[in-house]
A and B are shown apart, each in its own frame.
Chain A
Amino acid sequence: MLTDITLGQYYPGNSVIHKLDPRAKIIATLLFIAAIFFADSLLSYGVLALFVAVVIGLSRLPVLMVLRSVKPLWIIIVLTLFIHAFTGEGKDVLYQYSFLRLTTEGIIMGIKMSLRLVFLLLISSILTFTTSPIVLTDGIEALLRPFKCIGVPAHELAMMMTIALRFIPTLIEETDRIIKAQTARGADFDSGSLLQRAKNMLPILVPLFISAFRRADELAIAMEARCYRGGEGRTRMHELAYKAKDFIALAIIILLIAVLAVMRWGLGL
């Protein structure tokens, strides 16, 4: 069912990962993503996997739930694996069909590339699982603020993100409801030609757009009624403050990058 999607959901908790400053968490996530691209040998992928496992352990999130965040993109992951496996350069040909060549090197490359995707998904969903959307956008806003002088609308971007994140579950629920309502009226979404199927989507898309616009309208009025007028001169209830554990976390990530770099260029592992 549509409502089973867990990506981008906050899972409240008290772990050390939950309590990290959102800025530190965002920077650490970005650094980890950079670290992913430092990894080359299978051993360094093992190091990354170990790191992700430790972070999941520390966050005390249900492991299954975190792993499920990979599900929405599994097609892309599998596709990545296959494309690399069949188009990779390599001498060790296992199987050939016209221009498609399955090589050992290609398979290894495919595994590495799809592992990168999996790590990317896991680490970013750990970020969203352990950080409430409001805190997350606070962090993004704070990180973007220095760029205001070159015209980055930090507050507005953060506000738009907050709103978008807030409405994802609502829209998913709404879609689910509309699909059910039209199904109850005998609508058929998976038969007929491609054009016919596209036309069959209209009874879902039209109400969905209408409801999204209606919600946007209502929200704008509600915000105006409470005197919202952009970020100028706005103070905040929760000021962000770095603590010792934030620096420790960042230090650990930098150490991870260093280890991976040394493994790759220093030791050639």
Chain B
Amino acid sequence: MPLNLQNVTFTYMKGTPFEKTALSDVSLQIEKGEFVAVIGHTGSGKSTLVQHLSGLLHPDKGSVTVDGVNLNAKNAAAKKARNSVGMVFQYPEHQIFAETVYEDIAFGPRNKGLGPDEVDRAVRDAMAFVGLDFDSFAKRSPFRLSGGQMRRVAIAGVIAMEPDYLILDEPSAGLDPRSRDAVFKEVMALYKKRGIAVILVTHNMEEAARYASRLLVISGGQVILDGVPHDIFTNHKDELLAASMDVPPVYKLADCLNAHGLPVERTPELAALEKQILELRRAKHAD
């Protein structure tokens, strides 16, 4: 059941002097069950790419399909296909509008045409996923919550649509480290439980390295690298640097230690690296 992008080209403000080609001839396929991280420099076209994946922008050339259904068609099947792709925008709390947390999260499921019981279940599930206690939050005004809590309400509003493909465009921008970790843990839990595809746009390499099973590197409106994060961070450092990006700090640290003669293996987990170093020290003391 793949999400498919075929030779997609897209230009903003076509026919004006401000014309800007944000995607050129991009083709890719995302299967259910994948966790794809999309990284790239600011302005490289990440947001444009994911807005095509969710059918919000129409390609100038090429096509976007979910299970063979064209997302940009005007029929019921296309609408259903679009609803199967959930999209969490950058600063999603800016889309909150309802009087209560419950009503805001219920907006999507109701638009999908679910009955009251199903809506209720979807809202409760979504709130549980993002760690908002139903009894204490459901009836509160979303505008009286903290920034981190508002973001969770907004993310719950998308999760409640129960998408097969969940796209998150820099979901951690502007959050403190703890809320950031919490958001990723929740997304990860959802990913594991529902077996959906997650497409995560970020310019934080560390997030990409830790969570993703596949990494897309975008530069100048094209996918320049597509593969397993560990492999890209190990074998394609030069391409990353050329596209104004870098490998995650833990990889750098491992390289640094290697350069100093400490034989550690490169890993995306700081804890794993720490363990290796401690092992080395123990071995040395044992000598």
Minimal Cβ-Cβ distance residue in B for A174: B94
- A183: which B residues are within 8 A, CB to CB? 56
Contact partners of B218 in chain A: CB under 8 A: none
A180-B89, A186-B108 given; A6·B95 CB < 8 A: no
CB-based nearest A residue for B89 = A181
* Contact, CB under 8 Å: A65 / B107: no
* Binary flags per residue of A57-101, CB closer than 8 Å to B gives 1, else 0: 000001011001000000000000000000000000000000000
The answer on a CB contact under 8 Å between A202 and B83 is no
Would you give the 0/1 interface string for B37-53, flagging 1 where the beta carbon is closer than 8 Å to chain A?
A: 00000000000000100
Q: A3-B13, A185-B157, A210-B143 are in contact. Are A180 and B108 (CB under 8 A)?
A: no
Main SS at interface, chain A: helix
Please name all residues of chain A whose beta carbon is closer than 8 Å to the beta carbon of B54 when the two chains form the complex. Answer: 184
Is A206's beta carbon under 8 Å from chain B?
yes
* Complex-state Cα separation, A41 to B235, whole angstroms: 75
Report the nearest A residue to B16, measured CB to CB.
A65
Contact flag A181-B92 (CB < 8 Å), given A186-B83, A186-B161: yes
> With A and B bound together, what is the CA distance between A3 and B82 in angstroms?
23
Render B126-163 as a binary contact track against A, CB cut-off 8 A, 1 for contact.
00000000000000000100000000000001100100
A-side contacts of B157, CB under 8 Å = 185
A207 touches B112 (CB 8 A): no
A165-184 interface mask toward B, CB cutoff 8 Å, 1 = contact, 0 = none? Answer: 00000000010011011111
Residue in B13, B97, B108 whose CB lies within 8 Å of A207: B97
Closest to B12 in A: A3
Contacts of B17 in A (CB 8 A): 11, 62, 65
Is B75 in contact with chain A by the CB < 8 A criterion?
Answer: no
Q: Is B221 an interface residue (CB 8 A)?
A: no
Contact residues of B between 81 and 98, Cβ < 8 Å to A:
82-83, 85-87, 89, 92, 94-98
Q: Among B12, B96, B111, point to the contact of A187 (Cβ < 8 A).
A: B111
Say whether B15 faces chain A, with CB atoms less than 8 Å apart.
yes
Categorize the interface residue count of chain B.
20 to 34
Q: A116-141: which residues lie under 8 A (CB-CB) from chain B?
A: none
Q: Is the CB of B56 within 8 A of A180?
A: yes
Whether, in the assembled complex, A4 has its beta carbon less than 8 Å from a beta carbon of chain B, the answer is yes
With A and B bound together, what is the CA distance between A186 and B82 in angstroms?
Answer: 8
- CB-CB under 8 A for A184 and B86, given A3-B13, A178-B95, A210-B143: yes
Task: Give the interface size class of chain A.
Answer: 20 to 34
| Max chain A C-beta neighbours (<10 A), residue from B13, B98, B111, B157 | B111
Contact B13 A181 (CB under 8 A): no
- Measured CB to CB, the closest approach of chain B to A12, in angstroms, equals 10
A188 in contact (CB, < 8 A): yes
In the complex, what residue of chain B is closest to A210 when comparing beta carbons?
Answer: B143
Q: Does the CB pair B51–A180 fall under 8 Å?
A: yes
Q: Is the CB of B161 within 8 A of A185?
A: yes
Contacts of A196 in B (CB 8 A): none
Task: Write out the residue numbers on chain B whose beta carbons fall within 8 Å of the beta carbon of A177.
Answer: 89, 94
**Which B-chain residue is minimally distant from A204 (CB atoms)?**
B97
Residue among B56, B87, B94, B97 making CB contact with A202, cutoff 8 Å: B97
Q: Quick check: is A231 within 8 A (CB to CB) of the other chain?
A: no
Query: In the complex, A68 Cα to B83 Cα: how many Å?
Result: 35
Fill in one digit per residue for A189-211: 1 if any B CB lies within 8 Å of its CB, else 0.
00000000000001110110011
Instruction: Find out whether the CB atom of A206 lies under 8 angstroms from the CB atom of B161.
Output: no
Per-residue CB proximity of B155-187 to A under 8 Å, as 1/0? 001100100000000000000000000000000
B97 contact set on A, CB distance < 8 A: 202-204, 206-207
Closest chain-B Cβ to A3's Cβ sits at a distance in Å of 7
Within 8 A of A (CB), among B117-133: none
- Write out the residue numbers on chain A whose beta carbons fall within 8 Å of the beta carbon of B111: 185-188
- CA separation between A211 and B87, bound complex, in Å? 20
| Set of chain A residues within 8 Å of B108, measured between Cβ atoms | 185-186
> Is A68 a contact partner of B95 (Cβ separation < 8 A)?
no
Whether B87 lies near A68 (C-beta < 8 A) is: no
25 contacts between A and B (CB under 8 A): A3-B12, A3-B13, A4-B13, A64-B15, A178-B94, A178-B95, A180-B89, A181-B92, A181-B94, A182-B95, A184-B82, A184-B86, A185-B107, A186-B111, A186-B161, A187-B111, A188-B111, A202-B97, A203-B97, A203-B98, A204-B97, A207-B95, A207-B97, A210-B143, A211-B94
Q: Which residues of B contact A (CB under 8 A)?
A: 12-13, 15-17, 51, 54, 56, 82-83, 85-87, 89, 92, 94-98, 107-108, 111-112, 143, 157-158, 161
A interface with B by C-beta (< 8 Å): 3-4, 6, 11, 62, 64-65, 68, 174, 177-178, 180-188, 202-204, 206-207, 210-211
List the 8 closest pairs (A to B, CB-CB), nearest first.
A186-B111, A206-B97, A181-B95, A185-B108, A184-B87, A203-B97, A180-B56, A181-B89
